[in-house]
Amino acid sequence: MQKMKMIKRGAASVAIALLLLPLAGTAHATTVKHYGVDWSKYQGNAGKWGYARDDFSISQIGGYYNGSFVPQTTYGTQVANTIALNKRAHTYIYAQFSGTVQADQMLDYYLPKVQTPKGSIVALDVESGNPDLASVEHALQRVQDAGYTAVLYGYKSFLINHLGSAWLQEIASQWPLWLGEYKNYQVTTEPDYNYFPSFTNVQLFQFTSTYASGGLDGNVDFTGITENGYKNGNAQEPATKTAATTTGKQLHQDTHNYTVKSGDTLSVIASRYGMTVNALVMLNGIKNANLIYPGQVLRVADSGQGSNVSQKATTTTTASTYTVRYGDTLSGIASRYGTSASALASLNGISNPNRIYPGQVLKLSGGSSTRFYTVRSGDTLSGIASRLGTSWTSLKAKNGIANANLIYPGQILYY
């Protein structure tokens, strides 16, 4: 995942590996193997694929290190790129934690930020620190309760050393395992099942960190678990109507018909409905993005602005609550929603306005109106500010942006 792993020899054969059936009921047995990759920030904004057959990615949303958060700014664009390529996107959290308090802190922060659809994999990458059975089970249950396929990732030896074989068996009786073990560090395109880490309910096998030249984690799914969250395995059809968030929802949201008018272009239509051109092309099966015609009927996202082209990808919405994000302050939230910190503190029974936490849900007085803008490729903070009639310093402050030069497509900016 994030670092090089030691080679650990297993003893399972191909036959044994393929006979391992899931116990947790989260995936169906299949004779079709799926190949895919897992990414962190080192694979860049678009991610990196090994081979044309790869049909899923699992992107790191961020890391948690015993109380410290390290979000991955590449997560949203990796998810969007995967879906735009008609491949299935999933999520993992690098999870170094001990105790249920830390488990809750980690998930209160990251679960609201997941951009893959409900039912998709949200894996906990437990390969460092001092995990304990109670907190791992607690965290997996929370992921499951949030509507995702909870999966435990790690190395068999590490997990057994820290949890014990019997306790890992208990976890595997309830949740799928995704285990990594490598034969060597030479480019490896196919799993060698002589090195398979035999255990109950292993549904994903990370068989190499050198799937392609230069380094890339390669994974094989032999139960169909990577189809979870997607209707019949179709990357553009989530299994439920619960959309993913921000950039990941481009192809996962309710849509309606739009009839092309004279003078329309795909870029104008995409901006109007808060989409990317790529998403619009994929959604409608358009072969040539420069060839649309008046009267043509396109499917567009329900969340857009209709015919109000001048607002571009901005939206006005009414909010009654706000979920605190990492780095938020009560005064910053109050400024964003046109109220005061003291009013929010009073409304929410907050005795100390300096103590709010990620995941906390705050009531907003009167359901104040707020506006937001979805960052598009090529945008700059100063350019967006000029377009919206505000200043870049105001946008920076309202959105808790540390570096004004670091914004990314799909990011939501309030103004």
Higher per-residue confidence, 405 vs 183: 183
DSSP string, 374-403: E--TT--HHHHHHHHTS-HHHHHHHTT-S-
- For helices 75-84 and 277-284, the axis angle rounded to 10 degrees is 30
Highest mean pLDDT among 280-284, 285-289, 338-342, 402-406: 402-406
Whole-angstrom distance, CA of residue 174 vs CA of residue 143? 13
Q: Are 400 and 325 in contact (CB under 8 A)?
A: yes
Please say if the pLDDT value at position 9 is more than 80.
Answer: no
Query: What average pLDDT score do residues 373-396 get?
Result: 79
Indicate if the pLDDT at residue 368 is higher than 70. Answer: no
86/5: higher pLDDT: 86
**204-247, pLDDT tens digit by residue?**
999 999 999 989 999 999 899 999 988 876 766 666 554 444 43
Q: Token pair for residue 32?
A: 């079709």
**Measured distance CA(379)–CA(409) in Å, rounded:** 8
Is the pLDDT at 60 greater than 80, yes or no?
A: yes
User: What pLDDT band is residue 320 in, cutting at 50, 70 and 90?
Assistant: low
Contact 269, 298 (CB under 8 A): yes
> Per the structure block, which two tokens stand in for 386?
């000029």
Q: How far apart are CA 324 and CA 106, in angstroms?
A: 14
What pLDDT, on the 0 to 100 scale, is given for residue 313? Answer: 36
| Identity of the amino acid at 101 | V
Mean pLDDT computed over 338-366: 76
Instruction: Grade residue 312 by pLDDT with cuts at 50, 70 and 90.
Output: very low
166-205 tens-digit pLDDT? 999 999 999 999 999 999 999 999 999 999 999 999 999 9
310: confidence class by pLDDT, cuts 50, 70, 90: very low
What is the predicted pLDDT for the residue at 46?
85
Query: How many C-beta atoms surround the C-beta of residue 293 within 10 A?
Result: 8
pLDDT of residue 394: 81
- Pick from 125, 385, 117: nearest CA to 254: 117
Q: Please state the rounded mean pLDDT for residues 361-370.
A: 60
In the chain, how long is the greatest CA-to-CA distance?
A: 67
Q: Is the pLDDT of residue 311 over 60?
A: no
Which of 76-80, 97-101, 366-370 ranks highest by mean pLDDT? 97-101
Q: From CA 359, how far away is CA 368, in angstroms rounded?
A: 20
Is 143's pLDDT higher than 60? yes
Tell me if 363 sits within 8 A of 320, measured CB to CB.
yes
**pLDDT tens per residue across span 270-289:** 777 777 676 677 667 677 77
> What whole-number distance in Å separates Cα of residue 233 and Cα of residue 190?
22
The answer to whether 86 and 52 have CB atoms below 8 angstroms apart is no
Structure tokens, 281: 């092309």
